[in-house]
Every structure is written in structure tokens, then in C-alpha cells.
Amino acid sequence: MTSAAAPPGGLAPDAVGTPDPHVIVLFGATGDLAKRKLLPGLLHLLCSGLAPERLRIVGTSTSVLSDEEFRELACASVQEFGKEDLVGDAWERFALLLSFATSGTEGDSGAVLAARVREAEQEIGGEARLLHFLSVPPKATPAIIRELGANGLAERARVVLEKPFGTDLASARELNATVHEVFGEEQVFRIDHFLGKEAVQNILALRFANGLFEPIWNRDHVASVQIDVPEKLSVGTRAGFYEGTGAYRDMVVTHLFQVLGFLAMEPPTSLEPKTLADEKAKVFEALRPLDPDAVVRGQYDGYRDVDGVAPDSETETFVALRAEVENWRWQGVPFFLRTGKCLAAGQRVVTIMLREPALQMFHHGTGVHDAHPNALLFDLGDPGSITAEFLAKEPGATMRIASARMTFSYEQSFQAANQLEAYERLIHDVMIGDRMLFNRADGIERLWEISTPLLEDPPPIHPYAAGSSGPAEADALVAPGRWHLDEGH
Ligand code: BG6
């Protein structure tokens, strides 16, 4: 078997590797993520020429489905959520790759799956690499890992683990230990789809490919940082997962802290996966354990009426908090994080709030005090944008100062048509063995460690109206400042 080497640095457009022949085993194949992202994403990879020529996809879940029924489910998923026009042979080619094995209902379900995998390998002409994508709730992971080991499915395999990786420090350590009983760390890919977003990777490009920004990237120039990810979505049909998870575990300890890692890290000596992970780990090491008094938890009105939610549920659907990175670069600069469901806006924005000039030459009457201070905004949407907010003179005979903006938009500047969605990019990375955008066990365990004070002593839940910007208590966190998004940015 040819083994595609990880491209050094991973981001060079001409370094795209060709994956080895693969059998992808999709655990949770009938679930929400598979329908919305994974099945449509795999079809898109196939159509973009980024999937291996010799490929099979074995779906598995506790649902009892025939191969044909799984194909129908996949067809409905790509029709609803995919980019591909299903006219033409793309769908036909994709459908032929799919088969299904029911798991967990019989004692020998591991053996049944193994037989389907071997069949799939035969169909593509012998030994292939296996990619096990575990899109399952955390409690299901250990049994699957052991079953893979017991049935010889860990050889030539890589395993993708979905967040949350455990639910606290003890369970994260236990999960990592279980995974390592069967897989070597080099086979394990802990996925955080935020890191697959173009705009999040662009934080690295903006910081380290330019001489323009890095000199101001520190406590002397940055007053505070906001990582703000409000969602309009409710928990929808995911109450079963969400009720045991909540906004902190679903979004903060995973996505928002990973973005913080990219924002706050020291310049790495290269973009090698180990170097990047080392720098991120140092940021997490420097994070002060969370102070429950600097955390606001909320729950939208009506959440407790959702099917599958306890009538007295204390699960938070909103969380805002202040984090502190205690190192020379960031000492005294608060990082404010906020996210929640059923809010007024659906956005993903990082705001770097800059300090005011040392000497203010423009006085009252010029408008300078009514204008917003300087800020750099990263819109992490797909495809995203970066905006600099600054002050400028209004045209006219008097010296009037007003807010101005300069925006770089992906869509207008680059061929966004070549863009891969986050999951597509990351699945392709796994197939070529590029670990740059994946999380290491030590970083994750450290994030649970700093979460311990909050998890052991969570502050009370504040109700908020659906469609609002969350409980008012979250405003007090950033006072005397404000959440930048709430100011209409
Ligand atoms: C997922 C969370 O990881 O990220 C969801 O489980 C959330 O609750 C989603 O809605 C947000 O991702 P994106 O890419 O839509 O911003």
C-alpha cells in the first residue's frame, strides 16, 4: 500500500495528497451529523476528485436498515443538505459505494460489521485503509473502540472521535486510556469542525503570514477579546444529546476554546502538527481555572417543554464567561466567550478590541467620544470575512471623527467555489494522514482541568426569552464595555 505522507505545513494548495484506497465506516450513520454533513460531504469530496478512486462507505447504527434503505436515507440527506445536483452520474457512483450493517442489537454485531468491511475491501480489490468515523454520543464510544479492537478492525485504521471528548477531566482521561488500549495516538483524530473552517484557519494566516498584525497582538495593544457564537437554532430534535451536554460542553470546551488557542498562541516555529499542538497546549496550560463567578448560564424559555428534556432541567442553553490567559503576552486581557441557542442572531464572530491611543488629540465636539474604539473582527461564517473598524475624518470643513470600516471578504476576493466545508476538509485530512487541524489528548485534558471549578460548582441558570440576546446578567460580565455584536456589528 502506498502511504501518503502528511504534507509539511498542510496548508499549501499544491500539497493536496491523494488518499490511499479506503473503507470508511460511519458509526451513527443514521444520525443528525451524518445526514447534515457527513454523507453530503463525502459525496462532495467524490465530485471534487478528492476521494480515493477505490472507496467504500459502510454505514452502521442501531437502526435496522437494508443497504437499499441506507441509500435512500443518504439520497434524502444529500438532496436536503448537499451542494451536489443529483442529476447526472454523481449520485449513481456514490450510491454504489454505500452499504449498511446494523450494530448493537445482537451480541455478534462487531463480527457482522467486520464481515461487511471485509466484503467492501474485496470489492475494491483487497487491503484498504480503514477510517472509522465515530459520530456517536460520548457514552457509546468505549464499547465501539473495544469492538473494533476485538474484531481486527484497528489494523491499518484511523479513528475519528467527535466531541465532546468525555464530559469532565476523569472521563476524558478514561476515554483516552480506552482509546489507547486499541489505537496508537498516531491513529487517533479528535475532530473539531471549527478548525476546519476556512475563516478559522485564516486566523493563522493573518497572524503569521503578515508583518502587519503580529506587532499589536499582545497586552500592550489589545484591551479585550470576544469570541461570540450566538445561534438562532433551538436544540431541535437533539434534546437526547443536548440535555446531558449543555452549551458549555457542546460549544465552549470544544470549539470556542480551540479558536482561543489559535488566537492566543505564540508564533509556532513551523506549521507542523506537533509544533502547532505544542503551542496550543501552552495556551491551555496558561489558562487560569475558570471562576464560576465569571460565568453566566442561561436557559431559553420553553426549553423544558421540549420532548426529551426534564421538566426541572438545569441544562444551560446559553453560556457567557471570562477566561484569562496568564502569560506575558496576555496578562490582564480578558477573553470573553459567549454562545447559546435560540438567540436573536446566528453568527460566529471574534472581536479583538484595541486600546485607545496613548494621547487623545481630538477633543469633545469632534465626535471622537461617540465613535467606537478600534477593533478587528473575524467573521467565522462560511466563507467569512475580516473587518478593521477604525476612526476617520468625515468629509467637510470641520474636524468631525466617525467610525469607518475596511472589510476583506472571502467571497469577493477569492474563488470561493473551490471551498470545502469544514467536515469535508477534515475528512480529507484524515484520509491523507494530515493531523495539523486535530486535537491532542493533553490539550483536551487541560481544558477539562480548567473547567473543573465550573463543573463542580455551576452558577444558577437565568431564564431568557427565545429570540433575545440572552440573560441580561451576561452584559455585566463585559461591563463597562459591551458585547460588540449587540451593538449591531
Ligand atoms: C456543533 C454543536 O458542534 O456545532 C451544535 O454540537 C452547533 O450544537 C454547531 O449548532 C455549530 O456549528 P456551525 O458550523 O453551524 O457553526
> Band of the pLDDT at 88, cuts 50, 70, 90?
low
Q: What is the pLDDT of residue 417?
A: 67
Closest CA to 27 of 57, 55, 67: 57
Closest CA to 117 of 103, 133, 128: 128
Grid cell digits, residue 18: 491523494
Closest C-alpha to ligand 1, atom 2: 250
> Band of the pLDDT at 16, cuts 50, 70, 90?
low
Lowest mean pLDDT among 76-90, 171-185, 318-332, 389-403: 76-90
The whole-model pTM stands at 0.92
250 Cβ below 6 A of ligand 1: yes
121 Cβ below 6 A of ligand 1: no
341 Cβ below 6 A of ligand 1: no
Confirm whether 255 is a catalytic residue.
Answer: yes
Block residue for cell numbers 506587532: 215
Q: Which of 36, 165, 194, 235 to mutate to test the pocket of ligand 1 (most atoms within 8 A of CB)?
A: 194
Distance 365 CA to ligand 1 centre (A): 45
Grid cell digits, residue 448: 477539562
Q: What is the pLDDT of residue 211?
A: 93
Residue-averaged pLDDT of the chain = 91
198 Cβ below 6 A of ligand 1: no
Q: Which residues contact residue 412 at a Cβ distance below 8 angstroms, ignoring those fewer than 6 apart?
A: none
Given the residues 255, 428, 484, 489, the one annotated as active site: 255
**Which pLDDT tens digit goes with each residue over 441-478?**
999 999 999 999 999 999 999 999 999 999 999 999 99
For residue 13, is pLDDT > 50? no
Q: What is the pLDDT of residue 366?
A: 81
Q: What is the pLDDT of residue 12?
A: 40
Q: What is the pLDDT of residue 360?
A: 79
Closest C-alpha to ligand 1, atom 4: 251
Closest C-alpha to ligand 1, atom 8: 250
**Which pLDDT tens digit goes with each residue over 34-59?**
999 999 999 999 998 999 999 999 99
Which atom belonging to ligand 1 lies closest to the Cα atom of 242?
8
How far apart CA 283 and CA 138 sit, in angstroms, is 26
How far apart CA 310 and CA 239 sit, in angstroms, is 10
What is the C-alpha end-to-end distance of the chain, expressed in Å?
52
Which atom belonging to ligand 1 lies closest to the Cα atom of 348?
16
For residue 14, is pLDDT > 90? no
Q: What is the pLDDT of residue 266?
A: 97
Q: What is the pLDDT of residue 89?
A: 84
Which atom belonging to ligand 1 lies closest to the Cα atom of 229?
16
**Which pLDDT tens digit goes with each residue over 204-234?**
999 999 999 999 999 999 999 999 999 999 9
How far apart CA 422 and CA 399 sit, in angstroms, is 46
**Which pLDDT tens digit goes with each residue over 267-313?**
999 989 999 999 999 999 999 999 999 999 999 999 999 999 999 99
346 Cβ below 6 A of ligand 1: no
Which atom belonging to ligand 1 lies closest to the Cα atom of 255?
3
How far apart CA 111 and CA 153 sit, in angstroms, is 10
231 Cβ below 6 A of ligand 1: yes
